[in-house]
Amino acid sequence: MANLNQVVGALNLAADIIEENKQHLTELDGAIGDGDHGINMSRGFSFVKKTLSEGGFETVADLFKKCGMDLVAHVGGASGPLFGTAFLKASMVLKDKTEVSASDYLSILKASVEGIKMRGKSDAGEKTMLDALIPAYEAGAEVEKQEKSAQEVLKAVKAAAAKGAEDTEALVAKKGRASYLGERSIGHQDPGAASTALILGAVSDFFAAS
């Protein structure tokens, strides 16, 4: 599905999309959290872009590991360790690989779900990034089971992540500062789920255009 240069391209697009949506993500977080999610994600992905421009990676795993470390170090609050965990788990799944298949991509999503559940002590339905990531993985896995193309897998992942993020509006927050609002968190989209959907959407869009 993708070689190392294509993965770099997809991550660059994801970083650009996060930057373009910085204000939107900050507004989402401003309604139920600290109001800094967009700023934090923008800062973290600016370091990811710097890493991507420097190059020098021998494997996709090396690339994901460095990006994960960038996010852990430069995205503030809980989001840094959680998004960093997703990338670090990806590096473990892709050990020694120089190309990524659709099956590898789904393995990344699955490992990310498990890693974030453990790191955040959270699960589906708690108004977090998992509410975009879990349905994204499940939708992609279902499409792959039907032996459809990698493009169809990516498309399904994007659509399910976007719907999952939108559906967090109906959920009561159980984690983070938003949990203090209880029922008053209903009606607001979770910013972590929104940024997750943006990243997965960017990956799909990159390969649809290439």
pLDDT above 90 coverage of the chain, percent: 86
Is the distance from CB of 76 to CB of 46 less than 8 angstroms? no
Distance CA 194, CA 33 (A): 14
pLDDT of residue 92: 95
pLDDT by residue (tens digit) across 128-160?
A: 999 999 999 999 999 999 999 999 999 999 999
| Residue 89 reports pLDDT greater than 90 | yes
pLDDT above 70 coverage of the chain, percent: 100
Mean pLDDT of 3-17: 96
pLDDT by residue (tens digit) across 185-209?
A: 999 999 999 999 999 999 999 998 8
Return the structure tokens found at 33. 């959290």
pLDDT of residue 86: 95
3-state secondary structure at position 121: coil
Is the distance from CB of 14 to CB of 199 less than 8 angstroms? yes
Largest interatomic CA distance in the chain: 49
pLDDT band at 169 (very low <50, low <70, confident <90, very high): very high
